[in-house]
Structure 1
Amino acid sequence: MSGSETDSSGQPPRDERVESGIPRLDFILKGGFKQGGIYALMGPPGSGKTILVNQLCFNHIDKSEGRCVYMTLLIESHAKMLRHLASLRFFQLEHIPDKLYYISGYKVVRDQGFGGLLELIRGTLRERKATVFVIDGMESAEQFAPTAQAYGEFVHSLQALASLLGCTTFLVSNVRERTHTENALVDGVVELSDRLIGPRAVRELTVHKFRGSDYLRGRHEVEISSDGISIHPRTEVQFAHPGPSARESRPRMAFGLPRFDEMLGGGLLSGSTTALVGSPGTGKTLLGLSFLVEGARRGQRGMYFGFYEPPPRLIEKAEAVGIPLERYVQDGSIALEWQPPLEHLMDSLAEQMLEKIRAAPEREHRRLFVDGAEGFRAAAVYPERVPIFLSALTNQLRSLNITTVITDELELFQSELVLPTPELANVAESVVLLRYVELRSQIYRLLSVMKMRESRYDSSLREVHITPSGIDVADSFQSAEAILSGRGRVREARVATTDGKAPKKGSAPLKPAGKKRARPSRRGR
């Protein structure tokens, strides 16, 4: 039945889909593979082709109570392949051979050609009442074809058979040219790749063709673990159309630090994103933890998502400066999600974070502290993706009404303020700068609010003290000058003399602002 035909009720036929059950692959395909369609799956050795189609078969049996036939045209024995698959969690030996039937077609195509192979396929699919059919090793079949036309006719016959039986078919082969005859005849072409990008080995999935349906174009990260294959769509494509941001009630989300909260007009607006930018040791992590603890104290759920310090050390660090983090972690108000310093995939990290947020019990206002943006940057295979990735991620968090604080690290000392992730400052509503300043051979911590959309704020410089009693933000830092260069200087007063000349350097230091200067002494006149 063609796409323009109607059924007996006069309605167009339903678009029946066969879901793969592979994490996020069906999302990329906007619902899964079309029932009765024929699809080419190609990729180099080691890219995950065999795992993908076997995982699809087991998922199809579990979810749809379907029946699968897996035919190999390769010399590798089924026993060897099954031994490799047995270590993966989706593998279920009890489904073999009743619901998942493995059969070799190598000898038949070698001795009887395509005519004999088609008869074997037709008889097996009908006998087994198969709903999914896999042919693994199509490059071997092509080697036995006398001409390219003969091979094309064989693929066309497979397509007609699959449509007649309503059996969704997958043709698995090594990488070929996209203009290959097989790819022109099938309903869809999916490619798995395995490449070295710098020192990293990166697996990706690309859908080149998918008839009769929209799909997510471009490359998507592939991860193989003991669970099998997982696909990670690009975050900027996956969340290209986030839901509307919260606009009803947007209360202030305080840090629990009175003077700092005053600078922010009472706190951050609910559902906004704030960048905490600063050098190592300036207090970014402690400030972010203070934000979570203050939320928990107010009954708001929070989550820490970080890359550097494991939870026990994080709790110890917070408790040492008077931040009662452990109490709220134990009662479930704050979740600590630590990503060990391993080789991560950027989109996978974003998915983990969002899935944890969605899995948590709903509360009206929630807080997130990401420590820090450089963890995502280090995981990016393509650095040019980082700006649009951060934009998509922060937009998605806004649509979930998550108030987010994310840190980014500056160099320890630098003559100019150069943001390592300038795009973060663009997508964040607020930017808070934490820096060191050297004055009279002493190092001071300074804090300032550089930007805050939709709100008034105090842009003055404040000194920050971190003590066992907690974080203290001072009223001001009067003596700092040229602070953006990282160097503080004490201003010198210019006092007129009787001869009209400027005083000597250091003759009269500037008094603190707001205090009346003392008159010069008249004694001795």
Structure 2
Amino acid sequence: MEKILTGIENLDLILNGGIPVGSIVIIAGSPGTGKTVLSQQILYHNARAGHSALCFTTVSEPLTKLLKYQQEFGFFDRSLFETKVHYKDIGAILKEHGASETLKAIERRVEEVRPAIVVIDSFKVIHDLVESEVEIRKFAYELSVKLANWGSTTFLVGEYSPEEINRVPEFTVVDGVITLEQASEDSIRFLNILKMRGSSYIPGRHSFKITQNGITVFPRIKASPMTIMEQPTSMSRDGFGIPALDELIGGGFYKGSATLVAGGPGSGKSILGLQFLLEGVRQGENGLIVSLEEYVPQIIKDAKLLGFELTDLIQSDRLHILFDSPLELDVNEHAFRMRKVIEEKAIRRVLIDSISDYESTIRDPTHYRNYLFALVTYLKNSQISSILTQEINELLGTTAITKHGTSFIVDNIILLRYVELRNELRKALLVLKVRGSNHYKGIREYVIEDGGIHLKEIKPEEISSILSFEKYNSLLSFPQERT
């Protein structure tokens, strides 16, 4: 099926190659959501491709006002104005003579211009000025028939509420519906394809931004069943460069696997993840730190205090840091930026620090779980080994590692905990899970010092010591019991 492109790369991806030629599509949304910007961007993209375009304006958006604002965007091209992109104000005809004469005026102008693209902005004004639902249904039907005969692809722009989408008659005769919305609690905008006859598309809420260049869309990250079924596997292993820890896990975790490192504040989650990346860099594998908590200078400074010099690695393109503030985080844009760095910089190991910030941003547990699953699936399909850190609120004692049943998403789990022995706070490491491999089941003490995390050796003389971990049962809970 022949399609027209919107010119918005990721939107055309969501639409599986664009909009079928000859379709009538409603662009709906509340005031200020970007409806006119979207329709004009599509107009000018197709005009630059050599197609004639025609825009009808109504009393809702006078022509002079519309042009004034569109000139601010990078997609506007004055050389195309009235040569390829034509405008006609039908507001006065609609107000004075009604729907019937308005339809005739539209028909006359379309026959003159022979446009490939038609926009009516705002069609909702026509709906509001028509006396009855029967009349607007008739108007919409006759318009759709004429437009189909002309072969034009048409966009009807309007301020429709969610309730009206399910009720007003014009939605029953159109081929496609695109809704735009802005979340009330933050500044994130969403685009949703509700209907597109004759074409498949990616459903769900995709986020977008309005910039000086127009609309930029960030597709919702999604793991399809096919990508899961065809997921590649590897028998080679990626280690941390910490000999004692690598020994506990059989020489390392399998390449392309996802590892959750959970622990309390200051337990060393980020340090352990960094050591994993640096070991990869030593082996010629580019690494990426995805930080949702620390700015880049702070990460470099903290690493230097432990003896890790990151500046040279960053400048030589072997280590990359992507920072996104968790405040008003757009998780779709965040995932898009992450994938862009991974694919452009040939990243082989990733540290996401921390997924706790995804959890606080994505309030719905199901959405959070699906997002995390899709993200990990992408990394696995790319054979990228990943460390995901998660903060545990309880400083001491036992607790649930994950809240929303997400432990199945990762292949491996390492728990970092504080333990109190004889009024001394010490650190304990436990490998809870290694998918597809045997591993050490005991609890090991570790320290954070120059050079990062080190597991303490178990010395024979310590076996009888009151402070030896080997002399306690229930070490991670209260009260500890001497054996």
- On whether the aligned pair clears a TM of 0.5, the verdict is yes
1:333 corresponds to which residue? Answer: 318
Of the three residues 20, 25, 35, the one matched with 1:34 is 20
Q: Distance in 1 between matches of 2:94 and 2:186?
A: 40
Query: Following TM superposition, by how much is the alpha carbon of 1:446 offset from its aligned partner in structure 2, in angstroms?
Result: 1.3
| CA pair 202-335 structure 1, distance change in 2 beyond 3 A | closer
Q: Say which is worse superposed, 133-142 or 80-89, in terms of deviation.
A: 80-89
TM-superposition CA deviations, 1:31-72 (whole Å, max 9, x none): 22110111122221122211211222223234x332221211
CA distance in 1, matches of 2:71, 2:422: 68
- Aligned partner of residue 193 in structure 1, secondary structure: strand
CA contact (8 A) 2:396 2:476 kept: no
1:473-484 matched pairs, under 5 angstroms: 473-476=455-458, 477-484=469-476
Report if the CA contact (8 A) 2:33-2:182 is conserved: yes
2:416 is aligned with 1:434: yes
1:140 shift after superposition:
1.9
Deviation at 1:367, TM superposition (A): 0.7
Structure 1 counterpart of 2:439, one-letter code: Y
SS state at 2:406 partner = helix
Identity fraction in percent? 29
The whole-number CA distance in structure 2 between the counterparts of 1:487 and 1:321 is 33
- Tell me the CA shift for residue 359 of structure 1: 2.1
2:34 aligns to what?
48
Q: How many residues align?
A: 469
The 5 A counterparts of 1:115-130 are 115-130=100-115
How do residues 102-501 of structure 1 correspond to structure 2 at under 5 angstroms? Answer: 102-175=87-160, 176-196=164-184, 199-200=185-186, 203-236=189-222, 239-242=224-227, 244-247=230-233, 249-361=234-346, 366-476=348-458, 477-485=469-477, 488=480, 491=482
What's the secondary structure of 1:337's corresponding residue?
Answer: strand
In structure 2, relative to structure 1, the CA distance for the partners of 1:144 and 1:470 (3 Å cut) is: closer
CA distance in 2, matches of 1:483, 1:111: 84
Where do 5+ consecutive residues of structure 1 fail to align?
Answer: 1-14, 493-525
Question: CA offsets, 1:71-120, max 9 Å, x none?
Answer: 11124433333333344343334432322223211012223333432333
Q: CA RMSD in A?
A: 2.3
| SS of the residue 1:241 aligns to | helix
Residue of structure 1 equivalent to 2:461: none
CA contact (8 A) 2:396 2:417 kept: no
Match of 1:61, as an amino acid? Answer: A
* 1:438–1:486 CA contact under 8 A, matched in 2: no
Whether the 8 Å contact between 2:416 and 2:427 is mirrored in structure 1 is: yes
Cα distance, 1:334–1:213 mapped onto 2, change above 3 Å: same
Secondary structure of 1:390's counterpart equals helix
TM-score, normalised by the number of residues in structure 1: 0.83
C-alpha distance in structure 1 between counterparts of 2:103 and 2:152, whole Å: 15
8 Å Cα contact 2:60/2:122 also seen in 1:
no
**Change over 3 Å in CA distance of 1:173–1:286 after alignment to 2:** same
Alignment of structure 1 residues 89-104 onto 2, 5 Å: 89-104=74-89
CA distance in 2, matches of 1:330, 1:480: 48
Contact (CA 8 Å) 1:109, 1:117: kept in 2 or not?
yes
Secondary structure in 2 matching 1:118 = helix
In 2: Cα distance, 1:321 partner to 1:486 partner: 32
Aligned position for 2:463: none
Aligned equivalents of 2:219, 2:22: Cα separation in 1: 26
How far apart are 1:311 and its partner, in Å?
Answer: 1.5
Cα deviation code 1:279-328 (max 9, x no counterpart): 11111111111111110110111111111111221112112112233332
Deviations 1:383-425 (A, max 9, x none): 3311122122211211111111110000151432222445332
Conserved? CA contact 1:437–1:487, under 8 Å: no
Structure of greater Rg: 1
Larger mean CA deviation between 111-120 and 162-171 belongs to 111-120
2:46 is the alignment partner of 1:60: yes
Q: Which moved more, 1:472-481 or 1:294-303?
A: 472-481
Q: Which secondary structure state, in structure 2, belongs to the residue aligned with residue 60 of structure 1? A: helix
Distance 2:112 2:247 in 1: 76
Cα distance between partner residues in 1 of 2:454 and 2:39? 58
Q: Compute the TM-score of the two structures, normalised by the length of structure 2.
A: 0.90
| More displaced stretch, 321-330 vs 424-433 | 321-330
Deviation for aligned residue 1:263: 0.9
Structure 2 unaligned spans of 5+: 459-468
Cα distance change of structure 1 residues 338 and 296 upon mapping to structure 2, 3 Å threshold = same
Displacement, 1:223? 3.5
The aligned amino acid for 1:424 is T
Provide the rounded CA distance (Å) in 1 between the counterparts of 2:375 and 2:359: 13
Residues 378, 240 of structure 1: alpha-carbon distance in 2 compared, 3 angstrom cutoff: farther
The worse-fitting range, judged by mean Cα deviation, of 394-403 and 100-109 is: 100-109
Tell me, in whole angstroms, the C-alpha distance in 2 between the residues paired with 1:216 and 1:181. Answer: 25
Paired AA for residue 206 in structure 2: H
Instruction: Indicate yes or no: 2:56 matched with 1:71.
Output: yes
Counterparts in 2 of 1:483 and 1:229: CA distance versus 1, 3 Å: farther
* 1:250 to partner: Cα distance: 3.1
Q: What amino acid is the match of 1:43? A: G
User: Is the contact between residue 271 and residue 452 of structure 2 (CA under 8 Å) also seen in structure 1?
Assistant: no
Structure 1 residue 354 displacement after superposition: 1.8
Relative to 1, partners in 2 of residues 1:89 and 1:474: Cα closer, same or farther, differing over 3 Å?
A: farther
2:120 and 2:431 map into 1 onto residues whose CA distance is 62
Distance in 2 of aligned mates of 1:400 and 1:191: 33
CA distance in 1, matches of 2:16, 2:168: 25
Q: SS of 1:485's equivalent? A: coil
What is the CA–CA distance in structure 2 between the aligned matches of 1:90 and 1:464, rounded to whole Å? 57
Distance in 1, Cα, partners of 2:335 & 2:221:
7
Higher mean Cα deviation, 42-51 or 17-26?
Answer: 17-26
